[in-house]
Structure 1
Amino acid sequence: MDTSRPDDDQDQQKATLLLYLQRRRADLAGKLEGLGEYDLRRPLVPSGTNLLGLVKHVASVQLEYFGEVFGRPGERSFPWLGEDAEPEADMWATPNESRDAILALHHFSAAHSDATIEALPLDARGTVPWWPEERREVTLHTVLVHVISEIAQHAGHADILRELIDGSIGRGPGDPNLGDLGAEERARYASRVEAAARAAAGMPG
């Protein structure tokens, strides 16, 4: 006979979601390790996307979604989100914003978010004032899925940026998602992909 209770199921679901949130946060922050100030901050693509800016953005996002949305403000102000801030100010770091300060904000936002998640049930209600009116009323479950998806997307951005900087990918050697290709094998693999793309497009090899 199944003796589990609905609360037990909800607690397990919440624990699973929290685990994935924590993993994606760690993936993102880990992309900063071992880099100098220039590589941390410089844009590698025309959109201006950069590693330290992604961490700054995610820290802000977490405090908004797991703070303001559920009436649990993190008691931190963000001038880069103010009405008079320049466009995309949350997506890059000024020379006066240090790596340590942004990482400290990232850790603070993670702790505050985890405290909200642990304190509230998955069906706790919140309001996202910056969403369209017809879907502003949300649950903690909805917000968890939304934020995990956003951080996973930015962790993917960070992975590509780091590869452009020094060639490192994934979580490094031993990452099961990368297979066991060595540098030479991966270069041959990339050449095969390029050749297949050119053939499909009718381009000369």
Structure 2
Amino acid sequence: MIDEFAKHNLHGRLRRDRKALLWKLDGLSEYDVRRPLTATGTNLLGLVKHVAGVEARYFGEVFDRPSPEPLPRWEDHDGSDLWATEDETRDQIIESYRRTWEYSDATINELPLDAPGHVPWWPEPYPNTNLFAIMLHVLSESVRHAGHADILREGLDGRTGLRAEHEQRIDQEARAAYCAKIEQAARSAARSGVEECPG
């Protein structure tokens, strides 16, 4: 009973975060979904492409289920899963991600939580695992990257939130006042020599 509850709950959260990640692309130009928005090149469409590959690998190779999408070998990884080439369209990447959802969902639906899996790229003694551990791992990856996308999107046009119905549009004056308050607290702490707590 608890296994089915846990599986249903984790799967529901994964579905929620998939949609949240895609929503971060809505209404943006081709340039804005593709351009590097951090010093390391992180970009919105690249995050979607990357998470699709993560799901396909973990819910595929780990359980000896071939992926419906072509995936580069891990040893050939050159960062190309983190950005979209000029030949890849937004629609292609989104559709690839959606096909991966169907494929991942089939693995989740067909296997019990204790189904054994093997992650050859994990170091010893961790390669032997199960569906429960993989669901947690993929969910944490999805949450992490959806959070990245949220920050990137806020930097582009100020839109935040988990989904369109939760979107937060903050008054620019209120936002500036709030940031000024945080800046003042940071400057004041730096002047007074406040030290970090020992870790």
Under a length normalisation based on structure 2, what TM-score does the superposition of the two structures give?
0.89
Kindly indicate whether residue 179 of structure 2 is the aligned counterpart of residue 186 of structure 1. no
Alignment of 1:87-102 (within 5 A): 87-102=78-93
Partner secondary structure for residue 191 of structure 2: coil
Give the deviation of 1:14 after TM superposition: 0.3
Alignment of 1:18-33 (within 5 A): 18-33=11-26
Give distance in 2, aligned partners of 1:171 and 1:34: 15
From 112, 118, 122, the equivalent of 2:103 is 112
Alignment of 1:45-60 (within 5 A): 45-60=38-53
Instruction: Give the 3 Å change call, closer, same or farther, for CA 72–173 of structure 1 in structure 2.
Output: closer
Instruction: Give the 3 Å change call, closer, same or farther, for CA 136–58 of structure 1 in structure 2.
Output: same
Instruction: Give the 3 Å change call, closer, same or farther, for CA 96–16 of structure 1 in structure 2.
Output: same
Partner of 1:4: none
Instruction: Give the 3 Å change call, closer, same or farther, for CA 75–173 of structure 1 in structure 2.
Output: closer
Give the deviation of 1:194 after TM superposition: 1.0
Instruction: Give the 3 Å change call, closer, same or farther, for CA 84–13 of structure 1 in structure 2.
Output: closer
Partner secondary structure for residue 189 of structure 1: helix
Give distance in 2, aligned partners of 1:166 and 1:190: 16
Give distance in 2, aligned partners of 1:35 and 1:78: 27
Give the deviation of 1:82 after TM superposition: 6.1
Partner secondary structure for residue 73 of structure 1: coil
Partner of 1:136: 127
From 150, 160, 175, the equivalent of 1:159 is 150
Deviations 1:55-92 (A, max 9, x none): 0000000000001101111232124x46456x211100
Kindly indicate whether residue 190 of structure 2 is the aligned counterpart of residue 201 of structure 1. yes
Q: What count of residue pairs does the alignment treat as equivalent?
A: 192
What residue ranges of structure 2 are gaps of 5+ in the alignment? 193-199
Say whether the 8 Å CA contact 2:21–2:149 is kept in structure 1. Answer: yes
What residue ranges of structure 1 are gaps of 5+ in the alignment? 1-7
- When the two chains are superposed, the root-mean-square deviation of aligned CA atoms in Å is 2.0
The one-letter code of the counterpart of 1:130 is W
Give the deviation of 1:174 after TM superposition: 5.9
Instruction: Give the 3 Å change call, closer, same or farther, for CA 121–145 of structure 1 in structure 2.
Output: same
From 107, 119, 137, the equivalent of 1:146 is 137
Say whether the 8 Å CA contact 2:55–2:138 is kept in structure 1. Answer: yes
Runs of 4+ in 1 over 3 A off after TM superposition: 81-85, 171-174, 180-183
Identity %: 49
